[in-house]
Amino acid sequence: MKSLNQDIREKLSNLNIFEKIIVANFVVFLISFICMRLQGSDASLQWLSLSKSFSDLLSKPWTLLTYGFSHYSFSHLFFNMIVLYFFGRSFSNLFKEDVSLKVYFLGIFSGGLAFVLVYNLFPSGILNTVGPLVGASAGVRAVIIFLCTYLPNKEVRFFTFQFPLKYIGIALILFDIPGLFTQNSGGTVAHIGGYILGYIYAKQFQNGVDIGQFIDRITSYFSASKSNLKTVHKKKKNNSFAGKKKEEFDRFTHQKQIDLILDKISKSGYDSLTQVEKDFLFRAGK
């Protein structure tokens, strides 16, 4: 008989990467809510939210990412997560998990950086009366714009209406622009940072360039360091293909197959795919 801990771990392992991010956001919100109730203040969020002050950022550099997991209200959290869920499903079915993570986290990073830079470059401008930044919106918008840029002509259905995916991105940006002149101007600046990241990432990815590859190098370095502490060095076999390591070659050919299928979808629609191609896309999202 499974213990509760084992059952929870098994269920979490079956979630895709965006569903895990959603769970993490709800857990952080719940912990913050409990702390605020016990302390009678939002002191716990002060350690997670992003200040517009550059000196504060230097003293709490982690807030450039943790603000993306912090929300003051349940409605703000719920709206961000429901949008991320629906777009995240499409993203996870088309791209590998590492790409999903990089777009999302770099979107949060880019949004936070835009927020801090705009205030420090224009201290008496639109962000003058804005407080600390919280919310996953920049990461969510980076994911949406990535999809809209990478697959602009992919047909999507909304009730009885059917239109290209690019129009969702255009509408999202147009609806966001007036927010620069509201009390949530800081959030809108962060959204724009996410838009820019998602667009640039998708354009470069179409050209075969992964601008988030430095994250792979960082994680690989720490993984290798950890592995070297635990294992004895063994003589490595020279598994190279066209000057690349086998893992890099397999990853390249895998993504090329996906790109060919995505190109077919953008030209002829999802229904034009063969069952083999549909099955391949489904497996690629696992």
H or E element in which residue 241 lies: strand 240-241
Domain co-membership, 141 together with 57: yes
The reported pLDDT for the residue numbered 96 is 81
- Give the pLDDT confidence score for residue 192 in this predicted structure: 96
Residue 283 resides in a domain: yes
* pLDDT the model gives residue 283: 66
Number of domains in the chain: 2
Query: Does residue 59 sit in the same domain as residue 137?
Result: yes
pLDDT at 113: 95
Provide the pLDDT for residue 43: 63
Same domain, 282 and 149: no
Q: What is the pLDDT along the chain (286 residues), one digit of tens a residue?
A: 456 667 667 776 777 888 889 999 999 999 888 887 777 666 667 888 999 888 889 999 999 999 999 988 899 899 999 999 988 888 887 888 888 889 999 999 999 999 999 998 887 777 877 788 999 999 999 999 999 999 888 887 777 778 888 999 999 999 999 988 888 888 999 999 999 999 999 999 988 888 988 887 887 776 666 555 555 444 444 455 445 555 665 666 677 777 777 777 766 666 677 766 766 766 665 5
- Do residues 196 and 280 share a domain? no
Do 86 and 181 share a domain, yes or no? yes
**Residue 96, domain CATH:** 1.20.1540.10
Q: Is residue 8 part of a domain?
A: no
Position 234 scores a pLDDT of 44
Res 229: pLDDT: 58
Query: So what's the pLDDT on residue 182?
Result: 85
110 and 189 both lie in a single domain: yes
Whether residues 175 and 273 share a domain: the answer is no
Residue 238 lies in a domain: no
Whether residue 207 is found in the same domain as residue 112: yes
- 170 with 35, same domain? yes
| Domain annotation covers residue 66 | yes
Q: Which pLDDT value is given to residue 236? A: 47
Number of H helices, E strands in the chain: 13, 4
Residues 51 and 114 in one domain: yes
Give the distance, in angstroms, between the CA of residue 38 and the centroid of all CA atoms in the same chain.
32
Q: Per the domain annotation, does 5 fall within a domain?
A: no
Question: Is there a domain that residue 29 lies in?
Answer: yes
Q: Which of 213, 233, 268 is the last residue of a domain?
A: 213
Q: Partners of 72 in the beta sheet?
A: none
Q: How far apart are CA 257 and CA 247, in angstroms?
A: 15
DSSP 70: -
42 sits in which H/E element = none
**Where does a domain end: 213, 229, 263?**
213
Q: Is residue 223 part of a domain?
A: no
End-to-end CA distance of the chain: 27
Q: Quick check: 116 and 50 in contact, CB under 8 A?
A: yes
What's the rounded Cα separation, in Å, for the pair 224 and 215?
14
Instruction: Say if residue 190 is in the same domain as residue 278.
Output: no
pLDDT of residue 92: 80
- Looking at the structure, tell me whether residues 122 and 62 fall in a common domain: yes
Asked whether residue 220 is assigned to any structural domain, the reply reads: no
Provide the residue range defining the domain that includes 133: 15-213
